[in-house]
Structure 1
Amino acid sequence: MLQQLEKVKVKWGGKSDTVDNWLLARQSLLVSYCHLAGLDQQGESLPEANDIANFCENLMDYLSAGHFEVFDMLVDDEAEGKALKQRLYPKLTQTTDSALQFNDKFAEAFTIEQAAVFDSELANIGETLEERFALEDQLIAHMYANVE
Protein backbone atom coordinates (compact mmCIF):
# COMPACT_ATOMS: atom_id res chain seq x y z
CA MET A 1 0.00 0.00 0.00
CA LEU A 2 2.84 2.38 0.75
CA GLN A 3 4.41 1.72 -2.65
CA GLN A 4 1.09 2.43 -4.36
CA LEU A 5 0.79 5.65 -2.36
CA GLU A 6 4.23 6.75 -3.56
CA LYS A 7 3.14 6.16 -7.17
CA VAL A 8 0.01 8.23 -6.59
CA LYS A 9 2.02 11.04 -4.97
CA VAL A 10 4.48 11.09 -7.86
CA LYS A 11 1.69 11.11 -10.46
CA TRP A 12 -0.66 13.65 -8.86
CA GLY A 13 1.33 15.35 -6.13
CA GLY A 14 1.84 19.09 -6.29
CA LYS A 15 -1.25 19.81 -8.37
CA SER A 16 -3.68 20.51 -5.53
CA ASP A 17 -2.98 21.42 -1.92
CA THR A 18 -6.16 19.63 -0.86
CA VAL A 19 -5.17 16.40 -2.60
CA ASP A 20 -1.58 16.71 -1.33
CA ASN A 21 -2.78 17.11 2.26
CA TRP A 22 -5.16 14.20 1.84
CA LEU A 23 -2.37 11.98 0.51
CA LEU A 24 -0.20 12.99 3.47
CA ALA A 25 -3.06 11.96 5.75
CA ARG A 26 -3.23 8.65 3.86
CA GLN A 27 0.50 8.19 4.44
CA SER A 28 0.12 8.88 8.15
CA LEU A 29 -2.74 6.37 8.31
CA LEU A 30 -0.67 3.74 6.53
CA VAL A 31 2.32 4.29 8.80
CA SER A 32 0.14 3.84 11.89
CA TYR A 33 -1.44 0.76 10.28
CA CYS A 34 1.99 -0.77 9.61
CA HIS A 35 3.02 -0.03 13.17
CA LEU A 36 -0.09 -1.79 14.50
CA ALA A 37 0.38 -4.71 12.16
CA GLY A 38 3.91 -5.10 13.48
CA LEU A 39 5.46 -4.57 10.08
CA ASP A 40 8.05 -2.27 11.64
CA GLN A 41 9.06 -4.52 14.53
CA GLN A 42 9.85 -8.06 15.57
CA GLY A 43 7.73 -10.01 18.01
CA GLU A 44 4.23 -11.27 18.37
CA SER A 45 2.79 -9.06 21.10
CA LEU A 46 -0.39 -7.07 20.78
CA PRO A 47 -0.02 -3.35 20.16
CA GLU A 48 -0.42 -0.84 22.96
CA ALA A 49 -3.94 0.55 23.50
CA ASN A 50 -2.74 4.09 22.74
CA ASP A 51 -1.32 2.89 19.38
CA ILE A 52 -4.69 1.40 18.51
CA ALA A 53 -6.45 4.61 19.57
CA ASN A 54 -3.98 6.64 17.46
CA PHE A 55 -4.69 4.48 14.42
CA CYS A 56 -8.44 4.81 14.96
CA GLU A 57 -8.10 8.59 15.25
CA ASN A 58 -6.06 8.73 12.02
CA LEU A 59 -8.64 6.49 10.37
CA MET A 60 -11.58 8.69 11.37
CA ASP A 61 -9.74 11.87 10.36
CA TYR A 62 -8.89 10.39 6.98
CA LEU A 63 -12.43 9.17 6.32
CA SER A 64 -13.90 12.51 7.35
CA ALA A 65 -11.58 14.46 5.09
CA GLY A 66 -12.55 12.28 2.14
CA HIS A 67 -16.27 12.53 2.68
CA PHE A 68 -16.50 16.16 3.76
CA GLU A 69 -13.64 17.89 1.94
CA VAL A 70 -12.25 15.93 -0.97
CA PHE A 71 -14.76 13.71 -2.77
CA ASP A 72 -17.00 16.47 -4.09
CA MET A 73 -13.97 18.45 -5.22
CA LEU A 74 -12.68 15.49 -7.24
CA VAL A 75 -15.80 14.77 -9.26
CA ASP A 76 -17.88 17.37 -11.08
CA ASP A 77 -21.56 17.00 -11.87
CA GLU A 78 -21.07 16.44 -15.59
CA ALA A 79 -22.43 13.16 -17.01
CA GLU A 80 -19.18 11.19 -16.63
CA GLY A 81 -18.69 12.48 -13.09
CA LYS A 82 -22.24 11.60 -12.09
CA ALA A 83 -21.79 8.08 -13.48
CA LEU A 84 -18.51 7.70 -11.57
CA LYS A 85 -20.15 8.87 -8.34
CA GLN A 86 -23.01 6.45 -8.85
CA ARG A 87 -20.57 3.59 -9.39
CA LEU A 88 -17.98 4.39 -6.70
CA TYR A 89 -19.79 6.09 -3.83
CA PRO A 90 -21.72 2.98 -2.70
CA LYS A 91 -18.43 1.06 -2.59
CA LEU A 92 -16.76 3.90 -0.68
CA THR A 93 -19.68 3.88 1.75
CA GLN A 94 -19.14 0.16 2.35
CA THR A 95 -15.49 0.76 3.19
CA THR A 96 -16.49 3.62 5.49
CA ASP A 97 -18.96 1.35 7.28
CA SER A 98 -16.26 -1.30 7.79
CA ALA A 99 -13.83 1.30 9.12
CA LEU A 100 -16.46 2.70 11.48
CA GLN A 101 -17.14 -0.79 12.81
CA PHE A 102 -13.41 -1.31 13.43
CA ASN A 103 -13.23 2.05 15.20
CA ASP A 104 -16.29 1.30 17.33
CA LYS A 105 -14.84 -2.05 18.31
CA PHE A 106 -11.28 -1.01 19.19
CA ALA A 107 -10.94 2.77 19.70
CA GLU A 108 -12.05 3.04 23.31
CA ALA A 109 -11.39 -0.21 25.14
CA PHE A 110 -9.42 -3.33 24.48
CA THR A 111 -10.75 -6.47 26.11
CA ILE A 112 -9.45 -10.04 26.13
CA GLU A 113 -12.22 -10.99 23.69
CA GLN A 114 -11.16 -8.22 21.35
CA ALA A 115 -7.52 -9.25 21.63
CA ALA A 116 -8.44 -12.71 20.38
CA VAL A 117 -9.77 -11.31 17.09
CA PHE A 118 -7.57 -8.24 16.74
CA ASP A 119 -5.12 -9.65 14.18
CA SER A 120 -7.86 -10.87 11.86
CA GLU A 121 -9.83 -7.63 12.24
CA LEU A 122 -6.68 -5.61 11.53
CA ALA A 123 -6.00 -7.70 8.42
CA ASN A 124 -9.60 -7.10 7.30
CA ILE A 125 -9.32 -3.35 7.78
CA GLY A 126 -6.05 -3.42 5.82
CA GLU A 127 -7.84 -5.05 2.89
CA THR A 128 -10.67 -2.55 3.23
CA LEU A 129 -8.22 0.35 3.14
CA GLU A 130 -6.50 -1.07 0.08
CA GLU A 131 -9.86 -1.28 -1.69
CA ARG A 132 -10.79 2.22 -0.57
CA PHE A 133 -7.51 3.74 -1.75
CA ALA A 134 -8.00 2.18 -5.20
CA LEU A 135 -11.49 3.69 -5.40
CA GLU A 136 -10.23 7.08 -4.24
CA ASP A 137 -7.42 6.96 -6.80
CA GLN A 138 -10.08 6.58 -9.50
CA LEU A 139 -11.69 9.80 -8.25
CA ILE A 140 -8.34 11.60 -8.30
CA ALA A 141 -7.61 10.31 -11.80
CA HIS A 142 -11.01 11.54 -12.97
CA MET A 143 -10.35 15.02 -11.60
CA TYR A 144 -7.00 15.33 -13.31
CA ALA A 145 -8.26 13.80 -16.56
CA ASN A 146 -10.86 16.55 -16.71
CA VAL A 147 -8.46 19.35 -15.74
CA GLU A 148 -5.70 18.61 -18.21
Structure 2
Amino acid sequence: MLESCQNAQERWGGVHKLIDRWLQERQKLVEAFDRLGETPEALAGNRKKLKEFCGVLVDYVSAGHFEIYEQLIAEAKAFDDERGLELAETIFPRIDVITQFALDFNDHCDKGDCSCAQTLTGKLKELGSRLHERFELEDCLIEVLHNAHKEEAAVQA
Protein backbone atom coordinates (compact mmCIF):
# COMPACT_ATOMS: atom_id res chain seq x y z
CA MET A 1 0.00 0.00 0.00
CA LEU A 2 2.85 2.40 0.84
CA GLU A 3 4.45 1.83 -2.58
CA SER A 4 1.29 2.82 -4.45
CA CYS A 5 1.06 5.91 -2.28
CA GLN A 6 4.61 6.93 -3.19
CA ASN A 7 3.92 6.27 -6.88
CA ALA A 8 0.93 8.61 -6.79
CA GLN A 9 3.03 11.36 -5.21
CA GLU A 10 5.68 10.95 -7.89
CA ARG A 11 3.09 11.08 -10.68
CA TRP A 12 1.08 14.07 -9.46
CA GLY A 13 3.34 15.84 -6.98
CA GLY A 14 3.39 19.55 -7.67
CA VAL A 15 0.28 19.51 -9.85
CA HIS A 16 -1.79 21.27 -7.28
CA LYS A 17 -0.88 22.14 -3.70
CA LEU A 18 -4.18 20.85 -2.39
CA ILE A 19 -3.66 17.47 -4.02
CA ASP A 20 -0.02 17.43 -2.89
CA ARG A 21 -1.08 17.98 0.72
CA TRP A 22 -3.75 15.32 0.43
CA LEU A 23 -1.31 12.78 -1.00
CA GLN A 24 1.00 13.54 1.94
CA GLU A 25 -1.94 12.88 4.27
CA ARG A 26 -2.50 9.60 2.44
CA GLN A 27 1.11 8.66 3.12
CA LYS A 28 0.62 9.44 6.83
CA LEU A 29 -2.49 7.26 6.82
CA VAL A 30 -0.64 4.35 5.24
CA GLU A 31 2.24 4.71 7.69
CA ALA A 32 -0.18 4.82 10.65
CA PHE A 33 -1.91 1.73 9.28
CA ASP A 34 1.41 -0.07 8.91
CA ARG A 35 2.30 0.77 12.53
CA LEU A 36 -0.79 -1.19 13.55
CA GLY A 37 0.80 -4.35 12.17
CA GLU A 38 1.48 -5.78 15.60
CA THR A 39 0.00 -8.99 16.93
CA PRO A 40 -3.78 -8.72 17.32
CA GLU A 41 -3.57 -9.14 21.09
CA ALA A 42 -1.05 -6.32 21.51
CA LEU A 43 -2.95 -4.08 19.12
CA ALA A 44 -6.30 -4.56 20.84
CA GLY A 45 -4.72 -3.40 24.08
CA ASN A 46 -3.00 -0.40 22.50
CA ARG A 47 -5.78 2.19 22.41
CA LYS A 48 -3.30 5.01 21.82
CA LYS A 49 -2.11 3.64 18.45
CA LEU A 50 -5.67 2.92 17.40
CA LYS A 51 -6.82 6.40 18.39
CA GLU A 52 -3.95 8.01 16.47
CA PHE A 53 -4.72 5.89 13.42
CA CYS A 54 -8.41 6.70 13.58
CA GLY A 55 -7.65 10.43 13.78
CA VAL A 56 -5.53 10.26 10.62
CA LEU A 57 -8.16 8.09 8.93
CA VAL A 58 -11.00 10.53 9.61
CA ASP A 59 -8.87 13.51 8.55
CA TYR A 60 -8.00 11.81 5.27
CA VAL A 61 -11.50 10.73 4.28
CA SER A 62 -12.91 14.11 5.33
CA ALA A 63 -10.37 16.02 3.23
CA GLY A 64 -11.33 13.90 0.25
CA HIS A 65 -15.02 14.64 0.55
CA PHE A 66 -14.93 18.24 1.68
CA GLU A 67 -11.93 19.58 -0.23
CA ILE A 68 -10.40 17.43 -2.94
CA TYR A 69 -13.44 15.98 -4.67
CA GLU A 70 -15.14 19.37 -4.75
CA GLN A 71 -12.01 20.89 -6.29
CA LEU A 72 -11.76 18.16 -8.92
CA ILE A 73 -15.44 18.52 -9.84
CA ALA A 74 -15.09 22.31 -10.05
CA GLU A 75 -12.08 21.86 -12.32
CA ALA A 76 -13.97 19.42 -14.56
CA LYS A 77 -16.89 21.85 -14.80
CA ALA A 78 -14.58 24.77 -15.54
CA PHE A 79 -13.06 22.85 -18.45
CA ASP A 80 -16.45 21.47 -19.52
CA ASP A 81 -15.03 17.96 -19.07
CA GLU A 82 -17.93 15.56 -19.60
CA ARG A 83 -15.64 12.51 -19.40
CA GLY A 84 -14.27 13.60 -16.01
CA LEU A 85 -17.75 14.34 -14.67
CA GLU A 86 -19.04 10.96 -15.85
CA LEU A 87 -16.08 9.24 -14.23
CA ALA A 88 -16.76 11.08 -10.99
CA GLU A 89 -20.39 9.97 -11.06
CA THR A 90 -19.20 6.38 -11.45
CA ILE A 91 -16.44 6.51 -8.83
CA PHE A 92 -17.95 8.62 -6.04
CA PRO A 93 -20.65 6.14 -4.99
CA ARG A 94 -18.01 3.45 -4.41
CA ILE A 95 -15.80 5.91 -2.54
CA ASP A 96 -18.83 6.84 -0.40
CA VAL A 97 -19.28 3.18 0.61
CA ILE A 98 -15.61 2.95 1.57
CA THR A 99 -15.81 6.22 3.49
CA GLN A 100 -18.79 4.93 5.46
CA PHE A 101 -16.89 1.75 6.31
CA ALA A 102 -13.93 3.85 7.53
CA LEU A 103 -16.19 6.06 9.65
CA ASP A 104 -17.95 3.01 11.08
CA PHE A 105 -14.54 1.55 11.99
CA ASN A 106 -13.67 4.81 13.76
CA ASP A 107 -17.00 4.84 15.63
CA HIS A 108 -16.51 1.19 16.58
CA CYS A 109 -13.12 2.00 18.12
CA ASP A 110 -14.40 5.20 19.77
CA LYS A 111 -17.00 3.15 21.60
CA GLY A 112 -14.25 0.91 22.95
CA ASP A 113 -15.33 -2.06 20.87
CA CYS A 114 -11.78 -2.68 19.63
CA SER A 115 -10.68 -4.75 22.58
CA CYS A 116 -11.49 -8.09 20.92
CA ALA A 117 -8.33 -9.05 19.05
CA GLN A 118 -10.06 -11.40 16.63
CA THR A 119 -12.73 -8.88 15.62
CA LEU A 120 -10.19 -6.06 15.33
CA THR A 121 -7.90 -8.11 13.12
CA GLY A 122 -10.74 -8.89 10.71
CA LYS A 123 -11.94 -5.28 10.61
CA LEU A 124 -8.41 -3.96 10.01
CA LYS A 125 -7.85 -6.44 7.20
CA GLU A 126 -11.08 -5.39 5.51
CA LEU A 127 -10.33 -1.71 6.10
CA GLY A 128 -6.89 -2.12 4.53
CA SER A 129 -8.41 -3.75 1.47
CA ARG A 130 -11.03 -1.02 1.12
CA LEU A 131 -8.48 1.76 1.56
CA HIS A 132 -6.35 0.20 -1.16
CA GLU A 133 -9.37 0.20 -3.47
CA ARG A 134 -10.15 3.80 -2.54
CA PHE A 135 -6.59 4.91 -3.33
CA GLU A 136 -6.84 3.29 -6.75
CA LEU A 137 -10.19 4.99 -7.45
CA GLU A 138 -8.83 8.35 -6.30
CA ASP A 139 -5.70 7.93 -8.42
CA CYS A 140 -7.85 7.19 -11.45
CA LEU A 141 -9.94 10.29 -10.85
CA ILE A 142 -6.89 12.51 -10.38
CA GLU A 143 -5.16 11.08 -13.41
CA VAL A 144 -8.13 11.51 -15.75
CA LEU A 145 -8.87 15.03 -14.59
CA HIS A 146 -5.24 16.11 -14.54
CA ASN A 147 -4.41 14.66 -17.94
CA ALA A 148 -7.57 16.10 -19.47
CA HIS A 149 -6.85 19.61 -18.23
CA LYS A 150 -3.07 19.75 -18.26
CA GLU A 151 -2.68 21.06 -21.80
CA GLU A 152 -5.72 23.35 -21.56
CA ALA A 153 -4.39 24.89 -18.34
CA ALA A 154 -0.98 25.48 -19.95
CA VAL A 155 -2.62 27.25 -22.90
CA GLN A 156 -4.68 29.46 -20.59
CA ALA A 157 -1.68 30.34 -18.38
Give the TM-score of the pair, scaled to structure 1: 0.89
Consecutive aligned runs of 4 or more in structure 1 exceeding 6 Å deviation = none
**1:120 counterpart residue number:** 122
Instruction: Tell me the secondary structure at the aligned position of residue 15 of structure 1.
Output: coil
Instruction: Tell me the secondary structure at the aligned position of residue 15 of structure 2.
Output: coil
Residues in 1 aligned to 2:88 and 2:4: alpha-carbon distance in whole angstroms: 23
Asked if 2 retains the 8 angstrom alpha-carbon contact of 1:56 and 1:103, the reply is yes
Which deviates the most, 102-111 or 135-144?
102-111
Kindly indicate which of the two structures has a greater share of residues assigned to helix.
2
Asked if 1 retains the 8 angstrom alpha-carbon contact of 2:29 and 2:57, the reply is yes
Is 1:60 matched with 2:63? no
Deviations, residues 65-103 of structure 1 (Å, cap 9, x unaligned): 000000121231331122112100100001011111111
Of 142, 145, 148, the match for 1:146: 148
**2:89 counterpart residue number:** 86
Structure 2 segments unaligned to the other structure (5+ residues): 151-157
Residues in 2 aligned to 1:111 and 1:53: alpha-carbon distance in whole angstroms: 10
Sort the Cα spacing of 1:57 and 1:9 in 2 relative to 1 into closer, same or farther, 3 A: same
Residues in 1 aligned to 2:40 and 2:119: alpha-carbon distance in whole angstroms: 14
Q: Give aligned pairs, total.
A: 143
**1:69 counterpart residue number:** 67
Give the TM-score of the pair, scaled to structure 2: 0.84
Structure 1 segments unaligned to the other structure (5+ residues): none
Asked if 2 retains the 8 angstrom alpha-carbon contact of 1:14 and 1:20, the reply is yes
Residues in 1 aligned to 2:117 and 2:7: alpha-carbon distance in whole angstroms: 34
Over aligned residues, Cα RMSD in angstroms?
1.5
Alignment of 1:41-56 (within 5 A): 45-47=41-43, 48-56=46-54
Sort the Cα spacing of 1:61 and 1:80 in 2 relative to 1 into closer, same or farther, 3 A: same
Of 112, 115, 120, the match for 1:109: 112
**Percent of residue pairs bearing the same amino acid type:** 31
Asked if 1 retains the 8 angstrom alpha-carbon contact of 2:40 and 2:120, the reply is no
